[in-house]
A and B are shown apart, each in its own frame.
Chain A
Amino acid sequence: MFGQFDFGVITRNLPYLIKVGMMFTLELTALVIVLGIVFGTLLAMMRLSSIRVLSAFATAYINLMRSVPLVLVIFWFYFLVPYIGAWIIRSPTPVRVGAFLSSVITYSMFEAAYYAEIMRAGIQSIPRGQVWAGYALGLNYWQSMARIVLPQAFRNMVPILLTQTIVMFQDTSLVYVLSITDFLGAASKIAERDGRYVELYIFAAVVYFVICVIISVLVRRLQRRIAVIR
């Protein structure tokens, strides 16, 4: 049945698929995990803040980002970021940001909204007494957040952060709308050039699957290592 298929097309183009395509996808994912969780945590803290302006801004931002499709946000930032950049550095012409940087900014801003809701639940899961204990010892807001609340909130949220990260990893393939060569982009370029659609799309699916399983296993190990003894 597979007689007319040529899976050799994969091995012949493996360097391109991995070095160009997969590197882009992994670099983007890694940067977005870090930036998304950092921004998301800040957003969560703002949303829980007693300062009204901060919580209103964070709430509006999170709701907006979670109500629009990712593809729309990708287009939006791709065309908007050069103008925002120009405004920031007061340049008369739009700034050339580049596909990679533009994707990093887009996905970080988008994922931050989702990570923010996860971290908010995490922060709220820490009993008030823990914060009291920190304050009673003389810690200020930032110290008690950084040393007491967030380390525990993060541990509690690892499974959900992982789920969100796996979704995000798969969603990075949407950069194809900007004609960027991520892993899926690389696979489809070769598929089109050589007319080998079935082979390459099967390969792509298998690779995404394997990577997601590996991430799950690694995170489960990490979770066991950092688990709090109760």
Chain B
Amino acid sequence: MAMIEIKDVSKWYGSFQVLTDCTTSVEKGEVIVVCGPSGSGKSTLIKTVNALEPVQKGDIFVDGVKVNDPKTNLPKLRARVGMVFQHFELFPHLTVRQNLSLAQTLVLGRAQREADERGLRYLDRVGLASHKDKFPGQLSGGQQQRVAIARALSMDPICMLFDEPTSALDPEMINEVLEVMQQLATEGMTMMVVTHEMGFANRVANRVIFMDAGHIVEDAPKAEFFGKPRSERAQQFLAKILHH
């Protein structure tokens, strides 16, 4: 059974169709990169996996649980799926330590002390242990995104979703975030990553999905995708993004 399964998913904003019959899956321990031009629906697709975006047609399963079923306990499911956002979305009124422990205590029912310990352990892993009492606004973008990753990991997720985690970062901060993600991948975390970082895709991904205008145009193993993409659209995209 795949960790994430997306079957014939379509989504409309009013009469505008953003996703058309998208089908793919992510196996346990697999890292897949989703790329494509802006407006292609890749960010929308990844948000359907934990139902931040509802879908009108098709089915989505995470670890065998149907996401788009009104009977599904969404908070419970989401607590098991880590997500990292383009704009970090740390809670600016809480310290780093509180950001890390809030959902652990509220959702998982952990004691404050236990939540703090676990949060600080992950904070240490992303190299920011000394910043635990700062507010997000006092950190750089790269640091904030690493805290956001630590926050997601503190929940012991079964898989991680990354929605353009480096797009809002200054160039010199991109690598510190990618390194953390790469480390996570080598430890066997199941990851779905929306990104334009083709170097990262080439190093870390098992498969690459290319989207255009709401369609999954290519879904191929990394070597095949970078070797000779079948669609013309993907060839153009790669040519532009690799030679700029």
Q: Determine if B107 is an interface residue (Cβ-Cβ < 8 Å).
A: yes
The count of residues in chain B whose C-beta lies closer than 8 Å to any C-beta of chain A is: 31
A230's partner among B75, B92, B106 (CB-CB below 8 A) is: B92
From B83, B102, B106, residue with most partner A Cβ within 10 Å: B106
The prevalent SS among residues of B at the interface is: mixed
Q: Mark A213-230, 1 if CB is under 8 A from B, else 0.
A: 000000000000000111
The count of residues in chain A whose C-beta lies closer than 8 Å to any C-beta of chain B is: 21
Q: Mark A87-129, 1 if CB is under 8 A from B, else 0.
A: 0000000000000000000000000000000000000000101
- Measured in the bound complex, the distance between the Cα atoms of B78 and A151 in whole Å is 23
B87 to chain A: closest residue by CB: A129
A135 touches B52 (CB 8 A): yes
A229 touches B135 (CB 8 A): yes
Chain B residues positioned under 8 Å from A137 (CB to CB): 78-79, 102-103, 107, 151-152, 155
A138 touches B78 (CB 8 A): yes
B52 touches A230 (CB 8 A): no
B106 touches A147 (CB 8 A): yes
Q: Determine if B81 is an interface residue (Cβ-Cβ < 8 Å).
A: yes
Q: Determine if B137 is an interface residue (Cβ-Cβ < 8 Å).
A: yes
Q: Mark B119-163, 1 if CB is under 8 A from A, else 0.
A: 000000000000000011110000000000001100100000000
Nearest-Cβ distance from residue A181 to partner chain B, whole angstroms: 42
- Measured in the bound complex, the distance between the Cα atoms of B75 and A148 in whole Å is 15
A228's partner among B79, B83, B103, B135 (CB-CB below 8 A) is: B135
Chain B residues positioned under 8 Å from A230 (CB to CB): 92, 137
Chain B residues positioned under 8 Å from A148 (CB to CB): 91
B135 touches A132 (CB 8 A): no
Q: Mark B95-113, 1 if CB is under 8 A from A, else 0.
A: 0000000110011100000
Chain B residues positioned under 8 Å from A189 (CB to CB): none
A148 to chain B: closest residue by CB: B91
A139's partner among B103, B137, B138 (CB-CB below 8 A) is: B103
- Measured in the bound complex, the distance between the Cα atoms of B92 and A155 in whole Å is 11
Q: Determine if B71 is an interface residue (Cβ-Cβ < 8 Å).
A: no
B106's partner among A136, A139, A152 (CB-CB below 8 A) is: A139
Chain B residues positioned under 8 Å from A129 (CB to CB): 85, 87, 89
B75 touches A138 (CB 8 A): yes
Decide: A136 near B137, CB < 8 A? Known: A148-B91, A152-B92, A230-B92: no
